[in-house]
Every structure is written in structure tokens, then in C-alpha cells.
């Protein structure tokens, strides 16, 4: 699973008091207001997120330490670096995804600043040291492949207008190197990925061309994750072109027929189909296995639980002299309605409590249509993770997937204290604002659990990854769990929590 949280919806029937939806980011927003210079220029949240999402964790091949790009940034707090200076640093630039969105709009805003740069050692077990490192120590560690690698954190600050509060946060990038020996033989491949994904009408197609938008896993017969192991998987690449039908996208000889470029936007109420290609490393055990399966499938290769022999998806293309065999999956992209796209939505963390003037208060769906059989009782608290405003100034808080309540019907309070409530199978629910980092090793996957405490069979997070969490709770065994996505919880025995 990728290092940004994938959105998993909850059924309307399971709407519970104080039931949150976590935002898949590991940054925090400051509410400090500063006076901007009269000639300052500003960015927007879309361009800022696009720029930040260009950077992902990087794994260097074993034995290639001397070829590691140099780290030239000065480390320390209270800095005022340009975004361009950070993005063009050789080491940071090496972490850019395969199909980056142009971040020039964010970089050109004069108000945008990188406020701190810090580096921390990662040991052989994947633990991150708490003591900051110098620039020279970073280069020495990476060039000699000492320990488990280096974690770079840089703080950022930007404003969307002169009167807006600054948005601040921290971007974390882990630079590691493959220490695991190549798999001797691959005799089975289990591929899983998320489809469909939902996007807003009018959103840029380029957002789906980022590796951070993917959730692709490929495991061998021992359950070992091959994606992320450069000895076996050379790359995972989302296509920059789209199809109008699933059949067209699944045919390897077909060419894209949806006229969408990187700068174009998705049309409302339309489904697109995008190819995602996993390339094996030339001469690897996976390359050998896939080549054999392309000639005669034996049922050991499955895609989302379906045998390769029984689907047109996940088709294999044999390698050539210089490249390993590839597998190509097709995912559906559902674009929402124009009404849903007309709202400006931002993340928030808190609780809304219904007023007492009425016995109940109606809810709206994503298209701002009243939901006939859903309402909230008077004087009841509900967790909220997003707030939206339309062009008429109407403001609403989200209290469940696809369910919003008008701001005039509630009072809002920031999260931060134990409300003594329970949700699903969990008790002692506490609001948080921080991140959880899984223990190592990098190739290990930690399972996720539903709101009812049941393990999710096809969902997990990999070792040495960080995830935003908005609350903790206790399960039936008294074990602390952390909420990391809608209806998805991670047990605290495998993580370290850090408050923002």
C-alpha cells in the first residue's frame, strides 16, 4: 500500500456518533496569522499539494552507494529557503515520482518558503534516530550504505492570500537501500490494487499520474512484497493516457481513445480507464516467472483474486534484450458530479454538535441533495474531518462518507480531548492530531482492521511508513489502535505515535 492513505468509504447505514475519516497526510496546519509583504505573491492548496506529492520514499539498489546523489542543503530550523532550491537538490530530486506534476506555480509564489531541513539516521531495523544529522554525515551514510538509510524532513509554509493564515507542515522522505537478497525463485504472484478510484469532476488528470495515487502490491509464494524491492521490480508507472471503455484498456494492442492530456480535467459523471504497469528487473526471478506465465499460465498468478487465465486484466508483456517482463493492470477512475465539484473543501479535525431547536437535523449528500432517510438527533456530537463552502457562502461539515450537515445546524469544536465515546468495536476513543510510523522491515505488511475490529484480508500498510491519524481507541483486548483511514485501524503494538 502506498504512503498516502487511500480513501475507503463507509456505508451510510454505519454512520456512528463521533465516527471519523482520517486525512492521508502527515502535516499540520498552523493558525498563526502573519502580515504579508505588500508585493508578495501566493499559491493555492492544489498547487501546494501537487508540489509536495512529487516526492516519495526512495530505495537505492544494494551496492550502488557511491552513485547516490549528493545532499547539498544546509540542515537546521528557522530557515527561509525557496521551494525550487529544495526541489533541485540532487538527493531530493532523485525522490521525484515518474510522472511529476509541474510545481512551478507553487515554487514561483514569493510567500512560499521552506522553513527547516533536518536529517535523521535510519538503523538496520528501520528505526529512526531522534538526533539530527549534519549534511556531511548524510552523504557519508548514504554513500557507504550505513545502517538502514536516512530520513529527510523539511518544513514548509505558504499562504493562499494576504489575509489567509499560513499553512504549515512537514514533508518526510525516507532514503533507503535494498539490503534484501534477490528472491531465488518466484513460483507464485499475487497482485492486488485499488479500482475504482473516485475523483472530483474538474480535477486534473495529472493527479492520477502520480505514484502516490497508486496502491499496487505484488507478493510471491512466501507473501513477500516485491514492489519496492528493486532487485525484482524496476518500476511501477501509471499511464499518462486514458480509455473510455474497460475492454479497450485491457487490450494490449489498443491505443488510448480518451482525449486527455496531463493538464486536462476529468468530465463530470464520466468513467475513465487507466493502465498501471509494473516492470520486472531484467534477469530477476520475477522476470523469469512472468515470462513463463506469458507462455503458459498455470493458475499461480492472480489479479485481485482472479486467475490470470480467467481475466484480460494484468496482462503480461515479455521482456526484451534490455528490459524485464511487465504486467499491466487497468483501474477505473470515476469522476463525480458538477455539484460536488462546485464546493471548496478543506480538511479539519473536530466535533460538531447538533443544536436543540429541532428534534433532528437533515443531512445532504455530495451533490447537496437532502438524504431522505438520514438525520442527526438534537444535542448529539459527531466527528468531522472536512468542511466545504460553495459560491453562495453555504458551509457544511462532513460527518460520514457522502453525508454533510449545514454549519447553521451545529456548533463546531476542535478535537483534542477524550469524549468518552465508543465507535464500532472500540472504546475509549480519543481525538488526536499526529502520525503513526510502522516498525520495520520495509518489506513487511502490517494488517488493518475494520470499525468492528475484524482484520481486513486485502488491506495493510508496509513497514517503515508514516500515516496521519486523527484518533486512538481500545479494542476488545485492550490494545490501543489508531484510525488511519475511513473504517481502517492499525494496532499500536506495531507503531510509534508522534503528536504534531
According to the model, what pLDDT value does residue 23 have?
40
* DSSP assignment string, 176-232: EE--SPPPS----EEEE----EEE-TT-BGGGGGSGGG---EEE-TT--B-TT-TTT
SS3 98: coil
Single out the residue in 364, 382, 412 at which a domain terminates: 412
What range does the domain containing 466 cover?
425-497
Spatial separation of the C-alpha atoms in residues 137 and 148, rounded to whole Å: 14
Q: Under a CB-based contact definition with an 8 Å cutoff, are residues 42 and 111 in contact?
A: yes
Mean pLDDT for the stretch of residues 81-92: 92
Single out the residue in 310, 333, 356 at which a domain terminates: 333
pLDDT in tens, 405-429: 999 999 887 764 444 444 456 777 8
According to the model, what pLDDT value does residue 10 have?
37
pLDDT in tens, 435-479: 899 887 776 778 888 887 888 877 788 888 888 898 888 887 788
According to the model, what pLDDT value does residue 100 have?
57
Spatial separation of the C-alpha atoms in residues 313 and 278, rounded to whole Å: 13
Place of cell 492486488: 192
**Does a structural domain hold residue 365?**
yes
Lowest mean pLDDT segment, chosen from 118-122, 157-161, 163-167, 442-446: 442-446
Q: Which residue has the higher pLDDT, 79 or 392?
A: 79
According to the model, what pLDDT value does residue 286 have?
94
Mean pLDDT for the stretch of residues 197-207: 82
C-alpha pair distances (Å), 305 with each of 277, 291, 313, 421, 459: 18, 20, 12, 38, 13
**Does a structural domain hold residue 382?**
yes
Compute the CA torsion angle 72, 75, 79, 84 (nearest 10 deg).
Answer: 30
Q: Report the chain's C-alpha Rg in angstroms.
A: 23
**Does a structural domain hold residue 347?**
yes
Q: How many CB atoms lie within 10 A of CB 362?
A: 14
**Does a structural domain hold residue 379?**
yes
- β-sheet with 445-449: strand ranges across: 455-462, 445-449, 488-491, 480-485, 466-474, 427-438, 495-499
Is 347 found in the same domain as 326?
no
Lowest mean pLDDT segment, chosen from 84-93, 377-386, 394-403: 377-386
Is 317 found in the same domain as 198?
yes
Mean pLDDT for the stretch of residues 128-140: 91
Q: Which residue has the higher pLDDT, 115 or 500?
A: 115
Q: Please state whether the peptide bond connecting residue 115 to the residue before it is cis, i.e. omega within 30 degrees of 0.
A: no
According to the model, what pLDDT value does residue 20 have?
44
Task: Write the DSSP symbol of residue 74.
Answer: P
According to the model, what pLDDT value does residue 351 have?
82
Mean pLDDT for the stretch of residues 335-343: 70
Band (pLDDT 50/70/90 cuts) for residue 138 is very high
**Does a structural domain hold residue 38?**
no
Spatial separation of the C-alpha atoms in residues 101 and 157, rounded to whole Å: 20
Q: Which three cell numbers stand for residue 365?
A: 449528500
**Does a structural domain hold residue 318?**
yes
Lowest mean pLDDT segment, chosen from 254-258, 395-399, 492-496: 254-258
Domain total for the chain?
A: 4
Amino acid at each position: 500500500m502506498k504512503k498516502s492513505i487511500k480513501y475507503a468509504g463507509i456505508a451510510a447505514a454505519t454512520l456512528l456518533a463521533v465516527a471519523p475519516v482520517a486525512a492521508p497526510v502527515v502535516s499540520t496546519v498552523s493558525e498563526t496569522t502573519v502580515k504579508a509583504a505588500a508585493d508578495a505573491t501566493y499559491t493555492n492548496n492544489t498547487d501546494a499539494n501537487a508540489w509536495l506529492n512529487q516526492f516519495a520514499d526512495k530505495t537505492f539498489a544494494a551496492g550502488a552507494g557511491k552513485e547516490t546523489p549528493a545532499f547539498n542543503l544546509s540542515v537546521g530550523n528557522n530557515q527561509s529557503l525557496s521551494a525550487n532550491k529544495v526541489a533541485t537538490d540532487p538527493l531530493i530530486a532523485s525522490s521525484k515520482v515518474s510522472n511529476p506534476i509541474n510545481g512551478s506555480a507553487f515554487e514561483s509564489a514569493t510567500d512560499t518558503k521552506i522553513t527547516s531541513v533536518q536529517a535523521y539516521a535510519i538503523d538496520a531495523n528501520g528505526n529512526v534516530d531522534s538526533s539530527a544529522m549534519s549534511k556531511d554525515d548524510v552523504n557519508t551514510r548514504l554513500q557507504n550504505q550505513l545502517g538502514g538509510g536516512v530520513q529527510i524532513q523539511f518544513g514548509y509554509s505558504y499562504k493562499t492570500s494576504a489575509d489567509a493564515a499560513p499553512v504549515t507542515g512537514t514533508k518526510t522522505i525516507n532514503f533507503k537501500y535494498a539490503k534484501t537478497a534477490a528472491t531465488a525463485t518466484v513460483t507464485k504472484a499475487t497482485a492486488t490494487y485499488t479500482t475504482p478510484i473516485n475523483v472530483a469532476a474538474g480535477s486534473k488528470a495529472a493527479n492520477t499520474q502520480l505514484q502516490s495515487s497508486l496502491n499496487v502490491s505484488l507478493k510471491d509464494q512466501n507473501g513477500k512484497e516485491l514492489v519496492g524491492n528493486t532487485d525484482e521490480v524496476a518500476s511501477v508507472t501509471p499511464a499518462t493516457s486514458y480509455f473510455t471503455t474497460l475492454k479497450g484498456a485491457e487490450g494490449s494492442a489498443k491505443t488510448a481513445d480518451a482525449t486527455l492530456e496531463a493538464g486536462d480535467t476529468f468530465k463530470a459523471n464520466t468513467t475513465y480507464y487507466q493502465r498501471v504497469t509494473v516492470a520486472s528487473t531484467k534477469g530477476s526471478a520475477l522476470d523469469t516467472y512472468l515470462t513463463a506465465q506469458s507462455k503458459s499460465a498455470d493458475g499461480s498468478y492472480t489479479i485481485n483474486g482472479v486467475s490470470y487465465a480467467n481475466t484480460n486484466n494484468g496482462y503480461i508483456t515479455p521482456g526484451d534484450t534490455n528490459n524485464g517482463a511487465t504486467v499491466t493492470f487497468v483501474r477505473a477512475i470515476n469522476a463525480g458530479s458538477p455539484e460536488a465539484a462546485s464546493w471548496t473543501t478543506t480538511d479539519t479535525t473536530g466535533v460538531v454538535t447538533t443544536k436543540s431547536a429541532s428534534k433532528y437535523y437533515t443531512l445532504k449528500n455530495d451533490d447537496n441533495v437532502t438524504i431522505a432517510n438520514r438525520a442527526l438527533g438534537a444535542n448529539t456530537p459527531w466527528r468531522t474531518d472536512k468542511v466545504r463552502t460553495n459560491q453562495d457562502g453555504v458551509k457544511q461539515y462532513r460527518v460520514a462518507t457522502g453525508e454533510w450537515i449545514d454549519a447553521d445546524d451545529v456548533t463546531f469544536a476542535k478535537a483534542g480531548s477524550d469524549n468518552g465515546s465508543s465507535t464500532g468495536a472500540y472504546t475509549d476513543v480519543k481525538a488526536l492530531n499526529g502520525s503513526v510510523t510502522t516498525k520495520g522491515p520495509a518489506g513487511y505488511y502490517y494488517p488493518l482492521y475494520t470499525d468492528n475490529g475484524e482484520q481486513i484480508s486485502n488491506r495493510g500498510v508496509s513497514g517503515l511508513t508514516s500515516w496521519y491519524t486523527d484518533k486512538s481507541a481500545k479494542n476488545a483486548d485492550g490494545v490501543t489502535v489508531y484510525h488511519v483511514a475511513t473504517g481502517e485501524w492499525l494496532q499500536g503494538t506495531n507503531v510509534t505515535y508522534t503528536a504534531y
